[in-house]
Amino acid sequence: MKQYDLIVLGGGAGGLTVAAGAASMGAKVALIEKNAQPGGDCLHYGCVPSKALIHAAKKVHQARLSAEAFDLEVTGEADLLQALKRVKAAIAHIQKHDDADRFRDMGVDVYIGRGSFQDDHHLMIEGGETIYGKRIVISTGSRPVIPPIEGLKETGYITNETIFDLTYKPKRLFVIGAGVIGLELAQAMARFGIEVTVAEASSQLLGKEDEELVPFIQSALEKELKIMLNTKVQKVGKKENGDKMILVEQDGETKEILVDDILVATGRKPNTDRIGLDHTGVKTTDSGHIQVKPTLQTDRSHIYAIGDVLQAFPFTHAAGMEGKVVVSNAVFGLRRKVDYTHVPWVIYTDPEVFHLGLTEKEAREQIGSDIQVYKVTLDEVDRFIADHETEGLVKVITDKKGKIVGAHAVGKEAGDWMQEIVFAKHHGHKIGDISHVIHPYPTHGAAVQRASDQYWRNKLFSGAIPKLMKRYIRWFR
C-alpha cells in the first residue's frame, strides 16, 4: 500500500492549489480526481465556459447596438452552436495548465477515479486500490440542486453542467432560479435571440447584494429577458407537439408557459455524500457542508476541507485562498486561520455587479448608525459618459474614521475597475487615501476616486474645520 504525506481528494481549483503547493515544498502527494482530467467545476462547467459564452454573447449584443447607433445593417441570426465551439476551445486551452501529466511532472501521483474513505486515513480509489494519507484534504466541489418539481425529471432539463453541450438552439428557454448562475446564463442566451423567462420564488433579485444596486441590474436585465418574481414552479410536463409546459403560481395566480427547454439554476449542493465520510467521523451540516475550524481542519484534525464543500464562499478565488492556508497548516504544521473579510465577488451580468464586505444594511446592523456612505452614479464620471454607458452606481461604506467596511458597484466591467478598493480595504487604507492616488484621465476607475473625494469634501466643508480655515486665511493674509 502506498503511503503519502498528503492526499488531496478532488482536483478542482482549491485541490490543485494544495497539490502543487505541497509537492513543491517536498511533500509526497497524491491527487484523486473522478474525471478524466483535473480542473473541476470552474474549468469544465463554471467560470471558464460561462465567461466564454458571456463574452461571445456580449459581442453579438454590441454588434446590434452599434448597428442601431451608426445606421449600419446587421443581418443573419447569431449562431449559438458556434459560440459553444468557442467555449470548448477555451476549456481545451486552459486544460493544458491543469493537465494530469503536468502535475505528475511536479511529483504528484495522480489517480483517476472516484475516491472514498475506508477510515479516516485510508482512501480507496475506484477500481480497488487503497492508499494511506497522513493528512487528507477534501476538495470535492459541488453539483446542481434539482428541485422536486412534479414532472421535471420525466420532461427533461439542462443545468450549468449540460448547457454547454447543447446541439441545438432553443427558441424559448425557461430558467428556474434567479441566482448568479441563472441570471448570467439567462442574459447570455437571450443575446443569441432566445426568448428567455426567469422564475424566482423570492420577492426580489440578488438578496445578498446591497439593496440600492439591485434596481440598476434588474432594469438592465428586464430590457433583454422576462423576470417573474414571487413565482413558484408547480408542475412540468410535455405537450403532444413536443413543447415543454411549465405550470407556475405567481402572486396567487396560476399560469401556463410553453417553452423548448428548461434550465435549472436553483443552487448547488456539496459533493460530500459520495465519499464515505461516515467512515471518518467528520461532521457535516444538514445541507451536507463540512464543518471546519478557522484553520480549515475538521473535527478530525488531520483532515482538512476547502472549496464548495464548505458553506462560506463558494468561489474559485476563495478556494484558491483556502488552498494556500491548508498548504501552510497541513505541510508545515502551522495554525494559520482563513479570513474572508476581504474576499470580493463579481456577478458577470452586463452590467457587472461587484461586492466587497458589508452592505449598507449589514453595516448599520453590525456597526450602528455612525457609518458613512459615499455614492457616485456613473453618469457623473466622464469616461462612462464618453462610452455612453452611464447606468450604474459606486457605493463605499466606512466607519466614522473612514475605514472601509464595504464597497459595491454595478456598471460596465465593474469587476475590473473596483479592484483598487479591494487592495485598499485589505491593507487597511481609509477611503480618503484613494483620493490621493493619481488616476489617469479619463478612466473608469475615476468612479472610485470621485467617491473617495467626497470624504475630504465632507471633512473640509462641514463641522468646525471650515471656520478654522477661514480664521487661518484671515491671519495668514
Q: Which domains does the chain have, with CATH numbers?
A: 3-144+269-332 (3.50.50.60), 153-266 (3.50.50.60), 351-461 (3.30.390.30)
pLDDT of residue 464: 58
What pLDDT does 97 receive? 84
pLDDT digits over 172-213, tens only?
A: 999 999 999 999 999 999 999 999 999 999 999 999 999 999
- Give the model's pLDDT for residue 470: 64
The CA–CA distances, whole Å, from 318 to 93, 147, 306, 308 equal 23, 27, 9, 9
| Predicted local confidence at residue 462, as pLDDT | 64
Of the candidate ranges 363-367, 395-399, 450-454, 458-462, the one whose mean pLDDT is the lowest: 458-462
Average of per-residue pLDDT across 383-411: 97
Q: Is pLDDT of 15 > 70?
A: yes
pLDDT of amino acid 457: 86
With bands split at pLDDT 50, 70 and 90, how would you rate the model's confidence at 39?
confident
pLDDT score, position 471:
67
β-sheet bridge partners, residue 309? none
Instruction: Give me 165's grid cell.
Output: 453541450
Task: Output the pLDDT for position 466.
Answer: 64
Residue 128 reports pLDDT greater than 90: no
pLDDT at 472 over 90: no
Q: For 386-400, what is the mean pLDDT?
A: 96
Looking at residue 469, its pLDDT comes to 60
- Among 302, 6, 293, which Cα is nearest to 131's? 6
**Whole-number Cα distances in Å, 260 to 179, 242, 397:** 21, 8, 44
Average pLDDT, the chain: 94
Question: For the chain, how many helices (H) and strands (E)?
Answer: 17, 21
Confidence of residue 41 (pLDDT cuts 50, 70, 90): confident
Q: How many residues comprise the chain?
A: 477
Q: Give me the mean pLDDT over the 153-169 stretch.
A: 96
DSSP-derived secondary structure letter, 397: E
Q: Is pLDDT above 80 for 62? A: yes
Which H or E run contains 322? helix 316-326
What is residue 380's DSSP assignment?
G
Question: What's the whole-number mean pLDDT along residues 79-83?
Answer: 96
Q: What average pLDDT does the segment 226-248 reach?
A: 96
- The yes-or-no verdict on residue 474 having pLDDT over 80 is no
Which residues have a Cβ under 8 Å from the Cβ of 87 and sit 6 or more positions away? 49, 52, 53, 56, 164
Query: Could you tell me if 381 and 444 are in contact, meaning their C-beta atoms sit under 8 angstroms apart?
Result: yes
pLDDT value of residue 468:
63
Percent helix, strand and coil across the chain, each to the nearest 5: 35, 25, 40
pLDDT surpassing 70 at residue 473: no
H/E stretch holding 368 reads: none
For 74-225, strand residue ranges (E) read 109-112, 115-117, 122-125, 130-138, 142-144, 172-176, 195-199
C-alpha distances in Å from residue 243, one per residue of 180, 258, 259, 469: 27, 6, 6, 74
Over residues 130-139, mean pLDDT: 98
pTM of the model: 0.94
Cell of 167: 446541439
